[in-house]
Chains A and B, each alone.
Chain A
Amino acid sequence: MNVAAELMPAAADAKPEFWRWQESCWADETTDWHSAKTIAVGIDVGSVSSQCVVTADGKLYAYSSMRTGNNSPDSARNAFNAVGEKTGLSLNDVHFVVGTGYGRVNVPFSHKAITEIACHARGANYMGGNKVRTILDMGGQDCKAIHCDDKGKVTNFLMNDKCAAGTGRGMEVISDLMQIPIAELGQRSFEIDQEPEAVSSVCVVFAKSEALALLKAGYTKNKVIAAYCQAMAERVVSLLERIGVEEGFFITGGIAKNAGVVKRIEKILGIQAMKTEIDSQIAGALGAALFGHTLVQKQGPAKPIVS
C-alpha cells in the first residue's frame, strides 16, 4: 500500500511563512469504495489542523490533513471535500460520520461526537497494532499521554492544553524565530558538533528570549534548535511519567514527524517508539472512523446529514 501522500502546492504568491506545514491528501488507488459494504468517516477538527479519514469495511481507505480555518464547520467541510474531490465520495455514500477534536461538536454533518482521547487510542491501535499500550500525542495546542488495552480502549489519560510548552505552537514559535521551515527543524537539530543542554525555561515565551540570548552567546541556529528540542522532549517525558510508560510506545500528532524531538524522547525513556507508515497526524480521525464503523455494525447505517 503506497502511503506517500501527494503534497498540495503552496500558493505561488505567498510570502514565506516558515511555520506553515504542508497540507496533504491521499487515497488507496487499489481499492474501489463502490464495492465496500460499510463506508465510515472520521473528522478531527483540531485547533491547528483538521483531518478527514475514510474507512472502507474497517480498513483505511483515504485521508486529508488541512490547516484549521476560522471556524469548525468550515474546517470540517474543507477536510471532507479534499477527500471527496480525490475519490468521488459524497456524504450520501457514507454510512456514519464521527466528529472528534476540540471542534467535534461543531461538525455539522457528524452523527456522533467522541473525544480525541478515545479516538487517538483506537487509531493508534490500528496503526501500531494491538501491542500498543502507551500513546503520546503532541498536537497543535495540547499534549496528551494515553494508556490503552489491546483493543485500543483507554485505561488512563492525561492532557495538557493550558501551557504551550510541548505543543506544536511552541515549535511554530521557534520555526518563526529562526526563520527556518518547520519541516526542517528536526534534521537540523542533529547537524551540530555537541549536544547542548536543554533551554532552561519551560515557558515558550521565556524560551524565546533564551534562544535569542544563546544566539548572541555564539550558539549556531542548529544548536539552539537542538536545545529547544531537548527541552520539549524533557517536558513531554515528565508528562508521560505521570502515568507511566510501558513497552508498546506509540507517538501521534504533528510533532511525531519531528525526528529532533522524537529521538530525544526515545533517548530519555530508553524505549523506541513503534513505527508506522501511516501519517501520524491522522490517528484521531482514523480512530473516529473506526468507532463509526463499529456503530454501523451494531445499529446499522445512519442517514446522511447534507446541508
Chain B
Amino acid sequence: MITAGIDVGSRSVKVVLVEDAKVEGAPQLKYLVRGKHLMFPGDLDADVAAEKAFTDALGAAGIDRGQVSVIFATGAGRKMVKFAKDSVTEMSAGAKGVSFFFPTARTIVDVGAEEGRGIKTDGTGRATDFAGNEKCAAGAGSFAEAMSRALQLSLKEFGEASLRSEKSIPMNAQCTVFAESEVVSLIHSSTPKEDIAKAVLDAVASRVCAMVRRVGIENDVVLIGGMVHNAGFVQSLKAAMDVGEIKLPEMPEYVSALGCALLAAEGVH
C-alpha cells in the first residue's frame, strides 16, 4: 500500500510517498519512503500547487496515481487540498514524522517560513502538547531569510557567518518589521556581517525557545523544518535552549509530510 502526505506550507509544498514494507533484519521498520518532492508554488493557488507538486512527485518516483491508496494533507493550506481524503494538524504530522527518525524524541521544534511551534511527544508518535505562534511573524524562518538578503549573503553563507562571530549583540526589536530597520542601522554603523548574522539568529532562536519553554524542554530535542540547514541557527538554538544536543533528521523539510503520509497509512488522525 502506498500513501501520500502533502504538506502545504506558507512558502513551499512538500510531498512524501511511503509504502509499507517488511525489511529483513529490521522488523521495527514498517514503512519506507518511496519518493519525496519539494515545490515553490510561486503565484499558484494552494490547491493547484498541491496538485502539481503531487503529480511531479509521482513522476519523479515512477509511481502511477492509481497506486496511491490514501492521500492526507497538512500544513497551513491543508484545507485547500481538495483531492486529499483528510487533513491532519502540523502538530500530529510533526510528532508522527519525528518518531519515525527518533523514537527517543520528546521535544520537537518546528520552525517554518512563517510559523514556529514547539511540540511535546511521548515517543509513540502522538503530540501530547504544543505551543505555537501563528499570529506573529517573529520567530520564524522568513525573518532570517530577509535579513540575509539585507546583508547580501545566501542563507547558507548567513548561517556560516554567524558561526564565525564571537560577540553577542542583543537586538532591541521583537517585531520582524522593526528588526529590519535595526539591522539596516547596524549595517550603517559598520558592524561586521558575522556579528549581525549572529544577532539575528540569536533573536529568532530566543523567540522560538520561549515558545518551546511553554511545553517544557525535555531530551531528546529534535529540530525540523528548513532551518535545520542553517548551522548558525542550530548553534544559536542550542545555546538559547541550554541543551547539549539537538537531533537533526535527514530530509528535515519533509518530516511533517512524512508524518502525514504515515498517518494516512494508519488511517488515524
Contact = CB atoms under 8 A, between A and B. Distances in A.
A201 B135 contact: yes
B168 interface: no
A162 B175 contact: yes
B181 interface: yes
A170 interface: yes
A218 to B, nearest CB: 14
A164 B178 CA distance: 7
Nearest to B179: A164
A206 B135 CA distance: 8
Given A201-B135, A203-B135, A164 B177 contact: yes
Interface in A219-275: none
A269 B136 CA distance: 26
A169 B188 contact: no
B28 interface: no
B175 A163 contact: yes
Contacts of B43: 216
A169 B114 contact: no
Interface in B129-151: 135-137, 142
Given A70-B188, A70-B189, A206-B114, A169 B178 contact: yes
A204 interface: yes
Contacts of A169: 177-178, 181
Contact of B137 (A70, A162, A170, A203): A203
B25 to A, nearest CB: 48
Nearest to A70: B188
A11 B35 CA distance: 57
Contacts, number: 39
Nearest to B10: A209
Interface residues of B, number: 16
Interface residues of A, number: 17
Contacts of A91: none
Interface in A67-117: 70
Interface residues of B, dominant DSSP: loop
Contacts of A206: 114, 135, 137
Contacts of A205: 114, 137, 142, 176-177
A141 B177 CA distance: 9
* Max chain B Cβ within 10 angstroms of own Cβ: one of A173, A203, A206, A216: A203
A163 B136 contact: yes
A164 B189 contact: no
Contacts of B175: 162-164, 204
B174 interface: yes
B185 interface: yes
B114 A204 contact: no
A47 B184 CA distance: 13
Interface string B45-87: 0000000000000000000000000000000000000000000
Contacts of B189: 70
Contacts of A216: 43
A209 B181 CA distance: 20
A203 B137 CA distance: 7
Contacts of A164: 175-178
Interface in A174-209: 201-206, 209
A204 B135 contact: no
Contacts of A202: 135-136
B108 to A, nearest CB: 23
Contacts of A209: 10
Nearest to B115: A206
A70 B174 CA distance: 20
Contacts of B176: 164, 205
A201 B114 CA distance: 13
Contacts of A173: 177
Contacts of B181: 47, 141, 169
Given A70-B185, A70-B189, A141 B137 contact: no
Nearest to A201: B135
Interface in A152-171: 162-164, 169-170
* Max chain A Cβ within 10 angstroms of own Cβ: one of B114, B136, B175, B181: B175
A169 B173 CA distance: 13
B154 to A, nearest CB: 22
Contacts of A201: 135
Contact of A141 (B10, B178, B188): B178
A164 B182 CA distance: 13
Interface in B10-25: 10
B188 A204 contact: no
A204 B179 CA distance: 13
Interface string B117-132: 0000000000000000
Contact of A204 (B10, B174, B177): B177
8 contacts: A162-B175, A164-B175, A164-B178, A173-B177, A201-B135, A202-B136, A204-B137, A206-B135
Q: 6 shortest A-B CB distances, which residue pairs?
A: A205-B137, A164-B177, A162-B174, A164-B175, A70-B188, A204-B177
Given A169-B178, A206-B137, 8 more contacts: A47-B181, A163-B136, A164-B175, A169-B181, A201-B135, A202-B135, A203-B135, A205-B142
